[in-house]
Amino acid sequence: MYHCAIIGAGAVGGLIAAKLSQNHNKVCFVDRRLSESSQLELELEQWQGAKLQFKLPYLNQLAPCRWLIICVKAHQVAQAIEGLSIAADCQVLLMVNGIGAEQSLLSTLKPEQLFLASNTHGALLIDKQAHQLRVKHTGLGKIDLGGYLNQVLEPQYLAYLNQAFEPVYWHNNIYPVLWQKLAINCCINPLTAIHRCRNGELLKPQYQSEITHLCAEISHTAALEGIALSEQQLQQSVLQVAKLTANNFSSMQQDLAQQRRSEIDYINGYLVERAKQHGLNTPCNLALLQRIKQMEQDYA
Ligand code: KPL
């Protein structure tokens, strides 16, 4: 039995696999698209530390595991688990940007099997070949997680993650944390993609009024969803993350620069949709959603 199977051999998946393996957990990667199972050579350049190297199973079918961790792009979640038979005692941890992708898992899983996480560790993909993955841990962050059903009890086996990734914080209600991260992504991701800049640029005075309006819309929508997050609190988190990740390009900036599909539908798109359900207009978030959609349509 594997402790963890990981879907998504990218920067975050590589970081998680390496840290868990370093703590002597049995880890494998799963990718249904592989024609046959093989091995993946994984190298992690640690945060201010030596390099770690592992050879991990790279399977085209899911093997028995306690945790299945999904860290792909939000719009790839449904496809990533298609055709996998996930055992009833396997706990699934979804670690993606935005909110809404979890809905596509509920036709396959019992809701009590599903856990949602927010990750703020910085991870950079250095190189990805068919059987090789090199990643770098670029910033120490934290992992927050909780049950899809707001369960009060910490799941069994959380210790695996905790030892490898201190700090891992358990929340009886994970949704306020997810909405706070949503606010960060609603502001930083589209603005850096549109202005083709690093996260730190958004600390400049010319962006402050737009960030204030975006946060006000998010705070009002969150309140209608029963989540109390003040505009000031959200704005402060956005600016704090922009400062901490000042030299990074956001994931959406990178997606658009490389003409890939972005996660906008699960970020500003999710916000606009939830607000609409409550009869609320969110013009600032809608404008960013439309601008990013337009930029995607203009790809060569
Ligand atoms: O989550 C991020 C992303 O780029 O998707 C932030 C926190 C904005 C860091 O770049």
Task: Specify the residue for token string 């972005």.
Answer: 262
pLDDT score, position 86? 93
Looking up tokens 């990750």, which residue turns up? Answer: 119
CA of 196 to the centre of ligand 1 (A): 14
- Indicate whether 159 pLDDT > 80: no
CA angle 254, 5, 41 (to 5 degrees): 65
Sorted by sequence, the CB contacts under 8 Å of residue 226 that are 6+ apart come out as: none
The catalytic position among 26, 55, 181, 293 is 181
Average confidence (pLDDT) over 8-20: 95
Once rounded to an integer, what is the mean pLDDT over residues 57-66? 95
- Is residue 207 within 8 Å of 191, Cβ to Cβ? yes
Pocket test for ligand 1, best of 142, 199, 252 (most atoms within 8 A of CB): 199
The pLDDT value recorded for residue 277 is 98
Q: Once rounded to an integer, what is the mean pLDDT over residues 151-164?
A: 75
Sign of the four-CA dihedral 185, 143, 174, 226 = negative
Closest Cα to atom 6 of ligand 1: 250
pLDDT band of 141, cuts 50, 70, 90: confident
Give the number of other CB atoms < 10 A from CB of residue 112. 13
CA–CA distance, 162 with 170 (Å, rounded to integer)? 10
Mean pLDDT of the chain: 94
Ligand 1, residue 254: give the atom nearest the CA: 4
Q: How confident is the model at residue 160 (pLDDT cuts 50, 70, 90)?
A: confident
Tens of pLDDT, residue by residue over 209-264, are: 999 999 999 999 999 999 999 999 999 999 999 998 898 899 999 999 999 999 99
Residue 26 annotated as catalytic:
no
Q: How many alpha carbons lie under 13 Å from residue 65 in its C-beta half-sphere?
A: 28
Strands 132-139 and 122-129: antiparallel
Give the 3-state secondary structure of residue 1: coil
